[in-house]
Amino acid sequence: MKPVHAAPPTGRATLADIARESGMSRSTVSRALAGNGYVSPVKKQLILATAERLGYRVSTLARALRTQRSMTLGVLVADITNPLFPAIVKGIDEVVSAAGYTLFLCNTDEKSRRQQTLIRSLLDRQVDGLIMVSQTLSAESRKLLFPGPPCVFVNRRPARLSADYIGPDNLQAIALLLGHLHGLGHRRIAFIAGPSHSSTARERKDAYLAQMSRLGCAVPKGYLIEGDYQASSGRRAAERLLNCVPRPSAVLAANDFVALEVINALNAHGLSVPGDISVCGFDDAFGVHFTALASLQAKGLTTVTQPKRELGQAAARAMLMRLDQPQTAVCQTLLPVGLQIRDTSGEPAEMATSG
Amino acid sequence: MKPVHAAPPTGRATLADIARESGMSRSTVSRALAGNGYVSPVKKQLILATAERLGYRVSTLARALRTQRSMTLGVLVADITNPLFPAIVKGIDEVVSAAGYTLFLCNTDEKSRRQQTLIRSLLDRQVDGLIMVSQTLSAESRKLLFPGPPCVFVNRRPARLSADYIGPDNLQAIALLLGHLHGLGHRRIAFIAGPSHSSTARERKDAYLAQMSRLGCAVPKGYLIEGDYQASSGRRAAERLLNCVPRPSAVLAANDFVALEVINALNAHGLSVPGDISVCGFDDAFGVHFTALASLQAKGLTTVTQPKRELGQAAARAMLMRLDQPQTAVCQTLLPVGLQIRDTSGEPAEMATSG
DNA sequence: TTGTAGGCGTTATCAA
DNA sequence: TTGATAACGCCTACAA
C-alpha cells in the first residue's frame, strides 16, 4: 500500500495527516494554518484543533523550498570572542528575530578563504540576506555576492561598491580623540593605524592626517605606523615610536588590544603612562569590565566607545527594509561614537613639570 | 510552453538545467555532483564542467527536504555578550563546521518563554541537533525536546534526565578554591551560590558544604546565600554577610560579576580586599583582559578558569558522535578546571596582624 | 552504468 | 469558499 519510493519518514504529522483526520483537503488546511486565503471559521477551528491534537509543526524547509524564502539570514564576523562582535550580533538578533528570522552565525577568522567558503555555504542554504560584520571582501567573495541576496555591511565597507552600510563615525571619533589630547597640550601625537585593507582603518588614518593638519600639528616621519589590530603590532609600533625624533607625547592606537600592549611596551622601557606618554585606544572593548574593575583600582584606558548594539540594530533594520523593498536607494548610516576619558591620557610631561 | 503553476523561479541553475545542457538525466547529474552512485569518468567530467559553466550551486534546502537531514545545528545560549559563551560557541563552531554543519545561534536571555519559542522555531527548521549552553530546561521545553533530535547539554544539565552532557568539574573547582583559602588560614568562608534552578549552581553549593565539612570548618547561619549570577546579587549578599557573627574572612562568589560587585560593596563599607576579606570569583570571565590590564596595574581577581573552548569542542564532538550513532550510551564528561590565583585572596586579617 | 519515476511537505493557481 | 493539481530542487529504489 505504502509507496515503495519512500524517503526516511519524518515521524511528524504533516498537512496531509491533518487533512485526512479532519476530512478536508491539504489546500484548505494549509490556508487555515498559514492564515492566508479564505477558510470558513468553523472549519478553521476544526483544523486548528486537529493540528494541535496531532502535535503538528510546520516544515520550514518545505515552505522555504516552495516560497523561495528561507527566513534565515547569514552573519559573518571575524572573531566572536572579540567583545566588539557579540554586542553587535546581539543588536542584530534582537531586531531580526522579532521579525521571524533566524541567524546563521559564522566565524571568518579574517581569512579570505574561509570567508569565501562560508558565503558559498550560506548561499547554498538560500539565506534571504547576509550581514557582514567587519569583513574585508575578497574579489572572489564579491563575485559570489553580486548578484545575490541583499547584503548589509557593518563597520567595514567594500571599496568601490555602493551597498547598504552601517558604521561608526570615524571622523568624529578621531576629532574627539585629537581634540581631547590637543586640549591637554599635546602636539606630537602618533597614530598606529589598522591594516590598510580595512576601510575603517583607512578612514581613521585619513581623518588623523586631516585633523592633525587642521590643528596645525606636524606629523613627523615615523609617527604614522600601520599595524594589524593585533596586540603584537602594538609592541612593534611602540619600539619604533621610541626611536622617533622628536618622541611623541601621545599615541593613538588602532584598538584597545593594541593600546594595552603599547602601554606594556612603554612600561618595559621605563616610561609611565600617562606621565611620560599618553595612550588612547579604540572600541572600548573592555567597557563593562573597566567599570566593574573600578573596585580593583584598575586604571582605565581612555578610548572611543562604539555604539555596538545600535550598529547591530541599525544593520538589521536596514536588512529588513531592503528585503521588503529591494529597489530603494542604498542607505549609508554613520552612528555617533563617544569619548571615554579615563586614566591613560594626561598632560604632556613638559607641561606637567613646567606647570 | 512553460507550466502555468510555477513558483517564483530561483534564477539559479538546477540539476535539470545541467541535465538538459549535457544531455543526461537528472539522476546521473545528481550522482556525479553528490559523488555517490556510479557514473562513468568521462560523463562525470562533462557534468562537472557544465555545472561549473552554469554556476550551479546545490540547494541545501531541497536536499534537506528530500534526505531529512538539514546539516544544521541549533545552539541556545543565555546571553552572547557574557564572555563565557562566545568562547564556548567558538569551540563548537570549530568542530561542527569542519563536519559541514552550520549553526543557528539563539539568545534565550534566561527567559523560559523565549527558550520555548526558540526551540520550537529550531525544530520547525528541522535542525539535526540542539546544543543547550547553560540552559535550565522548562517543563514545556522538555516536552518539545523529547522525543526529538539529539540534544547535548553544556554547563547546566537537566534534572532527572539522562542526556549527553559536558560540564566543568564543579567539585574540583570548589575543592581548589577552598583548598587555596584554607591553606592561607581561612576558616570562616562564606558562599554566594547561583540560582537553585541551575544544576551547576546546585552542584557547587553541595560541593561547598561537603568540602567545608571535610575541612572541619563550620558553616554558620547566613554564610550560604542564594544569588542569581547577576552583579546586583553580589551587593545584596555582601550587605548580609557583613551582619553575620562571626563575620566571614573570605567569600566565594557565584561568578566574576558577582565577585566584583561584592568587592565594590565591601570597599563602600570601608573594608579592603584582600586585607580585611578575601574574595574569589568563578569563570575567569575577564581572563585575557586581566592579563592585558596588567599594564594598568589592575589587581586581578582570584577565580576559577573554565576550559571554555574545550567545553564547546567536547560538546560538538559528542553531538557528531550521537548523530552518527544515535544508540550509543549517553556521555557525561567533566572537564578539569584551573585555579587562577591573583590579588583578591590573601591571609586572613587576624593572621596578618598577629603574624 | 544510466534512466525512469516518484515523493520529501509545502504553497499557489485555477476551476468548481 | 473549497479541492485537485502542479510545482519548488533534490535524491534514490528499481528497472533497463
pLDDT tens-digit map of B262-305 = 999 999 999 998 999 999 999 988 876 666 676 777 777 888 98
Cβ-Cβ contacts under 8 Å for A86 (sequence gap 6 or more): A80, B80, B81, B85, B86
Strand partners, A131: A75, A152
Measured between alpha carbons, how far is residue A81 from residues A103, A257, B229, B287 in Å? Answer: 18, 13, 21, 12
A24 beta carbon to strand D: under 7 Å: yes
Q: Are residues B96 and B196 both part of a single domain?
A: no
Average pLDDT for residues B143-153, to the nearest whole number? Answer: 93
- Report if residue B288 sits inside a domain: yes
- Report if residue A162 sits inside a domain: yes
What percentage of chain A's residues is helix, strand, coil (to nearest 5)?
Answer: 45, 15, 40
B35 beta carbon to strand D: under 7 Å: no
Residue-level pLDDT at B1: 36
Interface contact flag, B299 A296, Cβ < 8 Å: yes
Q: Is the pLDDT of residue B354 over 60?
A: no
Average pLDDT for residues B156-173, to the nearest whole number? Answer: 92
pLDDT tens per residue, range B89-128: 999 999 999 999 999 999 999 999 999 999 999 999 999 9
Q: Are residues B269 and B348 both part of a single domain?
A: yes
Interface contact flag, A296 B263, Cβ < 8 Å: yes
What's the rounded Cα separation, in Å, for the pair B231 and A221? Answer: 48
What's the rounded Cα separation, in Å, for the pair A80 and A84? Answer: 8
Tell me which of A153 and A288 has the higher pLDDT: A153
Q: Are residues A184 and A148 both part of a single domain?
A: no
Measured between alpha carbons, how far is residue B163 from residues A16, A355, B157 in Å? Answer: 33, 69, 8
**Residue B162 forms contact with A (CB below 8 Å):** no
Interface contact flag, B344 A296, Cβ < 8 Å: yes
Side-chain-side CA neighbours of A92 within 13 Å: the count stands at 32
Average pLDDT for residues A256-285, to the nearest whole number? Answer: 91
- Report if residue A217 sits inside a domain: yes
Final residue before a domain boundary, out of A108, A131, A166 = A166
Residue-level pLDDT at A286: 80
Interface contact flag, A295 B260, Cβ < 8 Å: yes
Q: Which residues from A are below 8 Å from B284, CB to CB?
A: none
Cβ-Cβ contacts under 8 Å for B205 (sequence gap 6 or more): B191, B193, B196, B224
- b/e map of A64-88 (b: 16 or more CB within 10 Å)? bbeebebbbbbbbbbebbbbbbbbb
Average pLDDT for residues B153-160, to the nearest whole number? Answer: 94
Q: Are residues A162 and A175 both part of a single domain?
A: no
Strands (E), chain A: 72-77, 102-107, 129-133, 151-154, 164-168, 189-193, 224-226, 250-252, 278-280, 303-305, 332-335, 338-340
Q: Are residues B135 and B215 both part of a single domain?
A: no
Percent of chain A with pLDDT over 90: 79
A63 beta carbon to strand D: under 7 Å: no
Could you report how far apart the first and last alpha carbons of chain A are, in Å?
Answer: 98
Average pLDDT for residues A232-252, to the nearest whole number? Answer: 95
Q: Are residues B103 and B243 both part of a single domain?
A: no
What's the rounded Cα separation, in Å, for the pair A161 and A148? Answer: 14
Q: Is the pLDDT of residue B5 over 60?
A: no
Q: Is the pLDDT of residue A15 over 90?
A: yes
Q: Are residues A180 and A75 both part of a single domain?
A: no
Do residues B103 and A105 touch, judged by C-beta distance below 8 A? Answer: yes
Predicted confidence band at A3 (pLDDT cuts at 50, 70, 90)?
A: very low
Chain B residues 15-34, Cβ below 7 A from strand C: 24-28, 31
CATH (domain of A295): 3.40.50.2300
Final residue before a domain boundary, out of B166, B189, B215 = B166
Q: Are residues A254 and A138 both part of a single domain?
A: no
Q: Is the pLDDT of residue A130 over 60?
A: yes
Residue-level pLDDT at A4: 40
Average pLDDT for residues B233-241, to the nearest whole number? Answer: 96
From the alpha carbon of A60, which nucleotide's C1' atom is closest?
A: C10
pLDDT tens per residue, range B178-228: 999 999 999 999 999 999 999 999 999 999 999 999 999 999 999 999 999
Summary mean pLDDT of chain B: 91
Task: Report the alpha-carbon angle B209-B211-B214, nearest 5.
Answer: 110
Inter-chain CB pairs, A–B, below 8 Å: 165
- Report if residue B332 sits inside a domain: no
Residue-level pLDDT at B353: 46
A237: left (phi over 0), alpha (psi -120 to 50) or beta: alpha
**Domain around A46:** 15-58
Least confident stretch, A273-282, B141-150, B289-298, B305-314: B289-298
CATH (domain of B40): 1.10.260.40
Going edge to edge, which strands form the sheet with A278-280?
A224-226, A189-193, A250-252, A278-280
pLDDT tens per residue, range A148-164: 999 999 999 998 888 99
Q: Are residues B81 and B135 both part of a single domain?
A: yes
Do residues B164 and B153 touch, judged by C-beta distance below 8 A? Answer: yes
- Report if residue B156 sits inside a domain: yes
What's the rounded Cα separation, in Å, for the pair B234 and B238? Answer: 6
Residue-level pLDDT at B223: 98
Ramachandran angles phi, psi of A245, nearest 5°: -120, 120
Final residue before a domain boundary, out of A166, A194, A225 = A166
- Report if residue B333 sits inside a domain: no
- Report if residue B334 sits inside a domain: no
Q: Which residues from A are below 8 Å from B292, CB to CB?
A: 231, 257, 260-261, 286
Do residues B300 and B290 touch, judged by C-beta distance below 8 A? Answer: yes
Q: Is the pLDDT of residue B355 over 50?
A: no
Q: Are residues B194 and B289 both part of a single domain?
A: yes
Chain centroid, CA A50 distance in Å: 44
Local structure of A225: helix, strand or coil: strand
Q: Is the pLDDT of residue A246 over 60?
A: yes
Q: Are residues B202 and B251 both part of a single domain?
A: yes
Predicted confidence band at A218 (pLDDT cuts at 50, 70, 90)?
A: very high
Chain B residues 5-24, Cβ below 7 A from strand D: 5-7, 9-10, 12, 14-16
Which amino acid makes up residue A346?
G
Count up the domains in chain A and report the number: 3
Local structure of B50: helix, strand or coil: helix
Do residues B120 and A120 touch, judged by C-beta distance below 8 A? Answer: no
Average pLDDT for residues B242-267, to the nearest whole number? Answer: 93
CA of A295 vs chain B CAs: smallest distance (Å): 5
Least confident stretch, A201-215, A296-310, B238-252: A296-310
Ramachandran angles phi, psi of A136, nearest 5°: -90, 120
Residue-level pLDDT at A9: 55
What's the rounded Cα separation, in Å, for the pair A233 and A174? Answer: 20
CA of B353 vs chain A CAs: smallest distance (Å): 22
Q: Are residues B144 and B184 both part of a single domain?
A: no
Distance of B22 CA from C3 C1′ (whole Å): 14
Q: Is the pLDDT of residue A202 over 60?
A: yes
Q: What's this model's pTM, rounded to 2 decimal places?
A: 0.93
Which amino acid makes up residue B283?
D
- Report if residue B7 sits inside a domain: no
Interface test with A, best of B14, B97, B102, B342 (most A CBs within 10 A): B102
Side-chain-side CA neighbours of B243 within 13 Å: the count stands at 7
What's the rounded Cα separation, in Å, for the pair A74 and A106? Answer: 8
Nearest to A104 among B102, B122, B123 (CB): B102
A:255-294 residues touching chain B, CB 8 A cutoff? 257, 260-261, 263-264, 267, 273, 286, 289, 292-294
Percent of chain B with pLDDT over 70: 94
Distance of B294 CA from D2 C1′ (whole Å): 73
Summary mean pLDDT of chain A: 91
How many Cβ atoms are within 10 Å of B55's Cβ, its own excluded?
Answer: 10
Q: Is the pLDDT of residue B3 over 60?
A: no
What's the rounded Cα separation, in Å, for the pair A69 and A62? Answer: 10
